[in-house]
Amino acid sequence: MSWNSRVERIAPFRVMSLLETAQAREAAGHDVIHLEVGEPDFPTPGPVIEAGHAALSAGHTRYTPAAGLPALREAIADHYAEHFGTRVDPRRILVTPGASGALLLASQLLAGPGDRVLMADPNYPCNRHFMALAGAEVDAVPVGPASGWQLDAGLVDAHWRDETRLAMLATPSNPTGHMLDAGQLSAVVETVAARGGHLLVDEIYQGLCYDFAPLSVASITADAFVVNSFSKYFGMTGWRLGWLLAPEAAVEPLARLAQNVFLAASTPAQHAALAAFSPECRDILETRRSELERRRDALLEGLSRLGLAPSLPPQGAFYLWLDISRYSDDSEAFCQALLEEENVAITPGTDFALLGGEHHVRIAFTTGEARLEEAVSRFERFLARR
C-alpha cells in the first residue's frame, strides 16, 4: 500500500527502538543504565503538580482559546521581561501541545514546496522532518568544533540559496549541547535579515545553561520565531506543553492554524504551568540545573580518563556528543552491543546526523552521578574488548 510521499521521507527515531529493547532487558532482570532518552530522572516540581490538582478540582477542564490561557501567555511574557530584559506582547505568544506543536505551526506557516530550509547537521531529527512534511527541502549544513557545533552566520551566508526561505537554529542544541553567544546570535539575525529570510530558533533547553547565562533571540529581534517548552528546564515532559513566540504579523495566521490543527493545548496542563514561574518552583529548578551541571562534569571527567571526552564540552542541555570513530564506524551496532554486553543504553548518532552519524553517539546525563560513574566503568570494560 502506498502512502503520502512526504510521510515516506520521515525516518524512524532509532532511539525509541533501542529504548524498547533496554526496557525489555530491564524487565528480564538486567540492571540497565538509561542514558538514551532526553528526560532527566527528576519528577515534575511539586508546585506544578499541586497547581494541576487544584485546576482539576476547580473544574478547569474546558477549552481555552486556541492561542492559550491568557494568564499563561502573560506569565510567559513576564518571564522574558524578568530573565531576558525584553518586553514581549503576550498576544505574540501561542501556547501549544508541546514544543512539537509550536514546530508544527511554524513549519506550516514558513515552509512549503519549492522552499529550502537551512539547519545544522547534527540536529534534532524532528526539526527536519517537520519541514519535510511541509514539502520543503532541508539543507543540512555539516557543523563541527570550528563553528562550535552551531550554524553560525558565516555558514548561513555561505549556504543560502535563492530558494532558501528559512534558517533554523537550536541553542543549546540537541544532540551536542552547544550554544551561540549573544554576538554570534546577533550576527545570524543580521545575515538572515539581509537575505530577506525568516529565522526560527529552538530554545527548548534555554534554562539549562552551565558556562554562561541563558539568552533569547527575543532580546535581539522581534522578527524571529522562537520555540520553547515546559518539558526540559521546567520538568513537565508528559504534560505536553510548549509555546511559540512569533512576530506580530504572524500571530493571526498562526492562530488560524492552531484552531484547525489542535484547537487548544491541554487546559489542566496550562493551569499547572502557571506555577512553574513561581519563586518556589524557580528555586527547585535552579537546584536541578546545578545538579545537571555536576553530572556533566562527572561524566566529562570519567570520559577524560578513557581519552574520549569531547574537545568542546557542552555548555547547555544534558547531552554529550561523542566521537567513537576509534572504535566503530557503525554507531547503531555499537549502541546495540553496549546494551547487550554491559546494559548501558545510549543513542546512535545516526538519529541526529546525516553526515558522520555513524561515528558518533549521544549520551544523556539524565541519571545520578553514582550511576554515571558505573556507566563509565562499564563503558571502559566494553571498549577494552574492541
Q: What is the per-residue pLDDT across 161-190, written as a single tens digit (0 to 9) for each?
A: 999 999 999 999 999 999 999 999 999 999
Q: For the segment 339-362, what is each residue's pLDDT rounded down to a tens digit?
A: 999 999 999 999 999 999 999 999
State the Cα–Cα distance between residues 121 and 139, nearest whole angstrom.
9
Cell of 346: 545510549
Which pLDDT score, from 0 to 100, does residue 166 have?
Answer: 98
pLDDT band at 209 (very low <50, low <70, confident <90, very high): very high
Least confident residue range of 12-16, 55-59, 258-262: 12-16
Share of the chain above pLDDT 70, in %: 100
Return the number of other C-beta atoms located less than 10 Å from residue 212's C-beta. 11
Q: Per-residue pLDDT for 48 more than 70? A: yes
Which pLDDT score, from 0 to 100, does residue 18 have?
Answer: 84
Which CATH number, 2.60.120.920, 3.90.1150.10, 3.40.50.2300, 3.40.50.300, labels domain 12-38+281-380? 3.90.1150.10
Q: Per-residue pLDDT for 218 more than 70? A: yes
Query: Residues 59-64: what's their mean pLDDT?
Result: 97
Which pLDDT score, from 0 to 100, does residue 9 have?
Answer: 76
Which pLDDT score, from 0 to 100, does residue 1 have?
Answer: 67
Q: Per-residue pLDDT for 214 more than 70? A: yes
Averaged pLDDT score across all residues of the chain: 96
Q: Which fold has domain 46-276?
A: Aspartate Aminotransferase; domain 2 (3.40.640)
Which pLDDT score, from 0 to 100, does residue 167 have?
Answer: 98
Which pLDDT score, from 0 to 100, does residue 235 have?
Answer: 97
Query: Residues 206-227: what's their mean pLDDT?
Result: 96
Which pLDDT score, from 0 to 100, does residue 185 have?
Answer: 98
Q: For the segment 279-289, what is each residue's pLDDT rounded down to a tens digit?
A: 999 999 999 99
* Sequence ranges of the chain with CATH classification 3.90.1150.10: 12-38+281-380
Burial of 372 (0-12, 13-18, 19+ CB in 10 A): buried
Using alpha carbons, select from 115, 121, 69, 75 the residue that is nearest to residue 95: 69
* Residues 303 and 140: beta-carbon distance below 8 Å: no
Q: Per-residue pLDDT for 5 more than 80? A: no
* Sequence ranges of the chain with CATH classification 3.40.640.10: 46-276
Query: Residues 127-133: what's their mean pLDDT?
Result: 94
Cell of 337: 552491543
Using alpha carbons, select from 217, 233, 226 the residue that is nearest to residue 276: 233
Q: Per-residue pLDDT for 231 more than 70? A: yes
Which pLDDT score, from 0 to 100, does residue 343 have?
Answer: 97
For the chain, what is the radius of gyration of the CA atoms?
Answer: 21
pTM: 0.95
- Phi, psi (deg, nearest 5) at residue 7: -65, -35
